[in-house]
Amino acid sequence: MKIAFFDAKPYDRAPFEKYAGAKGLDIVFYDVKLDESTVGLARGFDAVCVFVNDVVNAAVIDALYAFGVRMIALRCAGYNNVDVERAFGKIHVFRVPAYSPYAVAEHAMAMLLTSVRRIHKAYNRTRDFNFSLNGLTGFDLHGKTAGVVGTGRIGRVFIDICRGFGMRVLAYDKFPAKDSGIDYVSLDELLAESDVISFHCPLTEETNHLINAETVKKLKKGVVLINTSRGALIDAEALLSGIKERRIGAACLDVYEEESDIFFRDFSGHIVEDDTLARLISMPNVLVTSHQAFLTEEALDAIAETTVDNLLSFENSGVCANELCYRCGNIEDCKKKRLEKCF
């Protein structure tokens, strides 16, 4: 099996070479992202392997299908960048639903602690031998209320971490986990009562701009927002306005709505043309990391292993437990239980 691997980074290669080599797969790594201008590189391959910022729209899918590509292997959990409906009947799409929920949840908490205890500012000061504590006052997490939007594996790990800090936890999920002991409330109640809100839900039509000009008005004054999920859950302009109005106390962003042409690249020494991102980064109470939450050795290893297993499972049996199929109307939860091909 020949696989075209797009948007390859140095940290991708070692784990994929290990698992693909052991299973006899032939991977060609491309530094460029997959989109309409680069899809020609996939000609002659059986599958493509893509990440969060690759563009797998209708035009790209049609081109891949014409080239004889049979499989699209996402090396991530989210799939909002793939036109799954267009792929149905043409190309089978797989994802990695869980690799290390601890990696993402721990990064969310790391960002929160860094922000509220001003650790990043203290680090910069002491490197200049400035040992003043002025302006570094934070607040205890103990006793505060954490709101968690999305209670899948990552959300639940984050809940456990918050409880370990002695925080009260409220949660919102369209599909609450039964017998979980989680205190579910309405979204409006969560927004109004939470001192900290962390997002761990997929990007869908319903969750797009979950934080917008209207919902910002419902937030508890001084709230800290954490987003390690998908950038478009938060309207960046509404976030800026909320910060300037002192409604939002701080923001910790590992993702950004318009990140696809910026994140994972080095722009030091260049002018970033995205004025909204530049303004956010300039804010003293905004912390931005570049879609880094997943980046642990354990997660990279699990991603490579699951991606390779997805491809081989389908190649050998015609069935993959992690296929995204449009046939049932419920993309993630196939009614056929993956016992036979969707098409």
Active site positions, annotated: 230, 259, 291
Q: Could you tell me the two tokens for 185?
A: 């409330």
d(CA 94, CA 322): 5
d(CA 203, CA 217): 22
Q: Could you tell me the two tokens for 273?
A: 């043309």
Q: For residue 33, which amino acid is it?
A: K
DSSP state of 254: S
What phi and psi values does residue 238 have, to the nearest 5 degrees? -65, -35
d(CA 251, CA 223): 9
**Segment 264-271 long-range contacts (CB within 8 Å, at least 24 positions apart):** 264/7, 264/9, 264/53, 264/290, 264/291
d(CA 199, CA 227): 5
What phi and psi values does residue 254 have, to the nearest 5 degrees? -100, -10
87 Cα distance to chain centroid: 22
Residues 35-56 as b/e (b if ≥16 CB within 10 A, e otherwise) read: beebbebbeebbbbbbbbbbbb
In SS3 terms, 163-214 reads as: HHCCCEEEEECCCCCCCCCCCECCHHHHHHHCCEEEECCCCCCCCCCCECHH
d(CA 144, CA 263): 32
